[in-house]
Amino acid sequence: MSNVNKVVLAYSGGLDTSVILKWLQDTYQCEIVTFTADIGQGEELEPAREKARKFGVREIYIDDLKEEFVRDFVFPMFRANTVYEGEYLLGTSIARPLIAKRLIEIARETGADAISHGATGKGNDQVRFELGAYALNPDIKIIAPWREWDLLSREKLLAYAERHGIPVEMKHKQGGSPYSMDANLLHISYEGRHLENPAAEAEEDMWRWTVSPEKAPDQAEYLDIEYANGDPVALNGKPMQAAELLAELNRLGGKHGIGRLDLVENRYVGMKSRGCYETPGGTIMLKGHRAIESITLDREVAHLKDDLMPRYASLIYNGYWWSPERKALQVLIDHTQAHVNGWVRMKLYKGNVIVVGRDSKTDSLFDANIATFEDDAGAYNQADAGGFIKLNALRMRIAAKLHNR
């Protein structure tokens, strides 16, 4: 179909990419390299290897990227307290630049002249994968089957898979197609089926990581998180690597029904989309990070971060992780974290994350001698506030005199 000789396919082994593998072979008559990223989706990855071998793939990459994912992508994002449209913790979005990076690396290693992905022509992921790929290799060719073929429904994909002997797991118990799902160490997402009706409540048995708050333990659980330079480094006094720490937060949060989200969001391509998300560990991390910043960050620095955060969130959501503006913002954000050190104590209870304490032995800006309601022994002269207030009111007083004549 073109002069493509070898393609690196981002391959999960699921329905979409299994069909794509066969379709690429038939349509482009080219050699395929499969790349499966282990970013903590919690699934057995060897079946993906076996499926790829079944269709004659000789070069199969299954890479454990969990630590890199959390350390170099999730943690930097959480230093900014990043939330998209007030609610979404960007679990899918933040995984895409890492996958794009590895696709380009593998293409270079194997001499491939193209990459391919399973993102649809309606979604955000096509933009994220391809912006990342072009930023890292401006001459790479990209094949996006959903923008080329006529298999434009999950039912058609299932029929194609059946015709070509491609095994499909997780058919819905009622006989329909499975949810469109994405999972990694930060979250799991669900789209499709009756979730396409924004008025319909999600089925309880859809959720995989979290118990319902109603069924969560009746006893609250306390959790201490230690921070160094804005990143969590220990839980309850136990030092942990990044991926291990997030996995444990997911376990704790899931146990207590924390981190469920039902959201209608604005996709970059222009449409609204309804999705459900489970982000138990991320929900705890966000609350904890804001708590440690509350005592270690200067007021104006904290407010500046809050002003910049929606722009930073949009850059990640829309696929601009590798852009110069995101990198510039990251330098600023990381600079603010030099003194974000200390610990936060939280109470986990029936879907809630409640901050109950925070302290920093080296970097706390909280001065009890000044903030006290008791006698401060002259640490703060309350009379100074009168002049402060009058100067800040000056422009309003001048305007009031002018307009109230």
User: What's the 3-state SS for the chain?
Assistant: CCCCCEEEEECCCCHHHHHHHHHHHHHHCCEEEEEEEECCCCCCCHHHHHHHHHCCCCEEEEEECHHHHHHHHHHHHHHCCCCECCCECCCCHHHHHHHHHHHHHHHHHHCCCEEECCCCCCCCHHHHHHHHHHHHCCCCEEECHHHCCCCCCHHHHHHHHHHCCCCCCCCCCCCCCCCEEEECCCCEEEECHHHHCCCCCCCHHHCCCCCCHHHCCCCCEEEEEEEECCEEEEECCEECCHHHHHHHHHHHHHHCCCCEEEEEEECCCCCEEEEEEECHHHHHHHHHHHHHHHHHCCHHHHHHHHHHHHHHHHHHHCCCCCCHHHHHHHHHHHHHCCCCCEEEEEEEECCEEEEEEEECCCCCCCCHHHHCCCCCCCCCCCCHHHHHHHHHHHHHHHHHHHHCC
Q: Looking at 16, 193, 231, 274, which residue is catalytic?
A: 16
Q: Looking at 18, 116, 177, 180, which residue is catalytic?
A: 180
| Percent of the chain clearing pLDDT 90 (strictly above) | 87
pLDDT on residue 2: 62
Residue 174 confidence class, pLDDT cut points 50, 70, 90: very low
Q: Looking at 12, 102, 116, 125, which residue is catalytic?
A: 125
- Residue 16: active-site member: yes
pLDDT per residue over 16-25, tens digit each?
Answer: 899 999 999 9
Separation CA 178–CA 181 (nearest Å): 8
pLDDT on residue 348: 98
pLDDT per residue over 229-267, tens digit each?
Answer: 999 999 999 999 999 999 999 999 999 999 999 999 999
pLDDT on residue 33: 98
Q: Looking at 12, 79, 96, 189, which residue is catalytic?
A: 96
Total-model pTM: 0.94
Q: Please give the domain boundaries of the chain with CATH numbers for all domains.
A: 6-179 (3.40.50.620), 183-359 (3.90.1260.10)
Residue type at 298 in one-letter notation: D
| pLDDT for residue 405 is more than 90 | no
Residue 157 confidence class, pLDDT cut points 50, 70, 90: confident
| pLDDT for residue 177 is more than 50 | no
- Residue 260: active-site member: no
Q: What is the mean pLDDT of residues 31-42?
A: 96
- Residue 12: active-site member: no
- Residue 323: active-site member: no
Separation CA 148–CA 114 (nearest Å): 15
pLDDT on residue 43: 83
Nearest to residue 249, comparing CAs of 99, 70, 76, 80? 70
pLDDT on residue 168: 72
Half-sphere exposure of 377 (CA within 13 A, CB side): 2
pLDDT on residue 171: 47
Nearest to residue 345, comparing CAs of 358, 334, 335? 358
| pLDDT for residue 298 is more than 60 | yes
| pLDDT for residue 175 is more than 80 | no
Sequence length of the chain is: 405
